[in-house]
Amino acid sequence: MELYFILVITALSCNLPGIWLVLRKLALLSDAIGHVLLFGIVIAYLITHDAQSIWLKIGAALAALFLVILVEQVQRNRTVKQDAAIGLTFPALFSIGIILSTAYLRDLHLDVDRILFGIPELLTLRRVKINRFDIGSVASLTMSSLLLLNLLMMILFYKEFKLSTFDETMAYQFGYKPRLLHYLLMTLVSFTAVGAFDTVGPILVVGFMIIPAATAHLFAKSLGKMFLLSSLLAGIAAILGTFLAQKLDTNIAGMTSIILGCQFALAILFRPKSGLIANFIRRIQQKHQLHEWMLLVHLAHHKNTEDEILENRAKDLKLHLSWPDRQIQKTIRTLIQKNWITETDGLLRTTAAGDHEITNILR
């Protein structure tokens, strides 16, 4: 039960700053931060030589902030765009982290699974006790405090974050310091990433930060709705992912990431009006309508002319329109149903309603 609790609060605390990342088109930054944490951890370890030290986490958070500053500086002289600046800087830092750890920390066993997905299954084993009184696991305490911190900041700075994200120039002009707000947000992202990194691994951290927000962005008309929907999606994915992973005896972080991906895929497919399926249906409808119009116009063009008997007989239409039989039969049926044409002895003629429709079409 506590496992569900941990996953849900991790989902929510990642999701809150993640929404702003998505809206600021900085989704890639979450991935970049996930990578440079290693750099920070390695540097901090080389200084402290203590694998349990709290300094490793502080080092990781500082490395993330360092990355953010670096990205800003690279981007500043306008030769590269923001996404390119992120792509340029984090692989460098990540590589340095890898080189240092392989050169100096060879004795430290690094497990790829552990690094990519974390081991949420073991989270409840590390407990915090005060006077032998069990007050919860390390993970649930860390993540609860992070969630509270993020929630508090989002409520306090809601208006400020909103304005500086939507229109940075105006925020600056109104005296809301957009750069300060940017660094505040990045600090929250870094702290959250460091905390959640230990809990669910970097893949799911990025997943929780970006995917529910991206999915909610497809639907939400207002920012408030985006927050609600995004949190809901993140929470559902956390619960469903944990449940399925336990049922199927597989990795929780991996399973939850898949659920998040499925949510997004379903949203893209079933979105009303602009979803793939809605588009598909609309295109078919348009195609059918076009066929009806084409046949109707053809019949009208030859109506009351000498060649009407040649052109407008149902069985000869194939010759003139070069359509497959099925399509011709179907279109004729629909037009008769709509009472736009009549059929007498195989000859098709437009009705008054059909002629009226044509004036609309050809207008």
Partner 1 sequence: MIQINDLTISYREQPVLWDIDEEFPSGKLSAIIGPNGAGKSTLLKAILGLVQPLSGQITIQKKSVKEYLGLIAYVPQKGNIDWDFPTTAFDLVLMGTYRSLSWFRRPGKLQKQKTEAALKRVGMWDFRDRQISQLSGGQQQRLFLARALVQDAPIFLLDEPFQGVDIPTEETILSLFQELRNQGKTVIAIHHDLGMVQKYFDWVLMLNVQKIVSGEVSKVFTKENLEKTYASKGDFLILPKLQDKELSNPISNSKLI
The residues of the shown chain that bind partner 1, judged by CB under 8 A, are 23, 25, 156-160, 162-163, 165-167, 169-170, 172-176, 217, 220-223, 225-226
Q: Which amino acid is at 158?
A: Y
Q: Between residues 178 and 354, which has the closer beta carbon with respect to partner 1?
A: 178
Nearest distance from C-beta of residue 274 to partner 1, angstroms: 11
Q: Between residues 73 and 173, which has the closer beta carbon with respect to partner 1?
A: 173
Give dist(CA 261, CA 255) in Å, integer: 10
Q: Between residues 223 and 294, which has the closer beta carbon with respect to partner 1?
A: 223
Give dist(CA 235, CA 237) in Å, integer: 5
Nearest distance from C-beta of residue 219 to partner 1, angstroms: 9
Give dist(CA 311, CA 333) in Å, integer: 18
Give dist(CA 93, CA 35) in Å, integer: 8
Nearest distance from C-beta of residue 217 to partner 1, angstroms: 7
Q: Between residues 4 and 174, which has the closer beta carbon with respect to partner 1?
A: 174
Nearest distance from C-beta of residue 178 to partner 1, angstroms: 12
Nearest distance from C-beta of residue 58 to partner 1, angstroms: 28
* Cβ atoms within 10 Å, residue 153: 17
Q: Between residues 20 and 197, which has the closer beta carbon with respect to partner 1?
A: 20
Q: Between residues 92 and 276, which has the closer beta carbon with respect to partner 1?
A: 276
Q: For the CA atoms of the chain, what is the radius of gyration?
A: 31
Nearest distance from C-beta of residue 163 to partner 1, angstroms: 5
